[in-house]
Amino acid sequence: MNDSIPLLIDTDPGVDDALALLMAFNSPRHHLLGLCITAGNVGLDHTVANALKLSEVAGIKVPVYPGCERPLVFAAEDASYVHGRDGFGDIDYEPAHFQAELEHAALAILRESHTHAGKLLLVTLGPLTNLALAVRLDPTLPSRIGRLVVMGGAVTGKGNTSIAAEFNIAFDPEAAAIVFESFPDIILVDWEAVLRHGFRHSTFEGWLAGGSPRADFYERISRKTRLWAEGKRGDHWHSADALAMMAALHPEYIIEKQRYFIHVETAGNQSRGATMVDWLERSGRPAQTEIVLKLDQARFETMIQDALGARA
Catalytic residue positions?
238
114-133: which residues touch ligand RIB (CB under 6 A)? 125-126
The separation between CA 116 and the C-alpha centre of its own chain, rounded to angstroms, equals 21
* Residue 153 within binding range of ligand RIB, rule CB under 6 A: no
* Residue 229 within binding range of ligand RIB, rule CB under 6 A: no
Helix (H/G/I), strand (E/B), else coil: 149: strand
Among 93, 167, 199, 217, binds ligand RIB (CB under 6 A): 167
- CB-nearer residue toward ligand RIB: 116 or 218: 218
Beta strands in the chain (DSSP E): 5-11, 30-37, 64-66, 120-124, 145-151, 186-189, 199-200, 236-237, 254-260, 262-264, 275-277, 289-295
CA distances from 292 to 217, 221, 239 (A): 30, 28, 15
Among 9, 10, 14, 26, binds ligand RIB (CB under 6 A): 14
Among 6, 8, 10, 17, binds ligand RIB (CB under 6 A): 17
Contact region with ligand RIB (CB under 6 A), list: 14-22, 27-35, 50-58, 105-113: 14-22
50-109: which residues touch ligand RIB (CB under 6 A)? 79
Contact region with ligand RIB (CB under 6 A), list: 25-33, 51-59, 62-70, 159-167: 159-167
Using alpha carbons, select from 131, 129, 156, 155 the residue that is nearest to residue 141. Answer: 131
- Say which residues have a Cβ less than 8 Å from residue 305's Cβ, sequence separation at least 6: 207, 311
- Give the residues lining the site for ligand RIB (CB under 6 A): 12, 14, 16-17, 40-41, 79, 125-126, 151, 160, 166-168, 191, 240-241
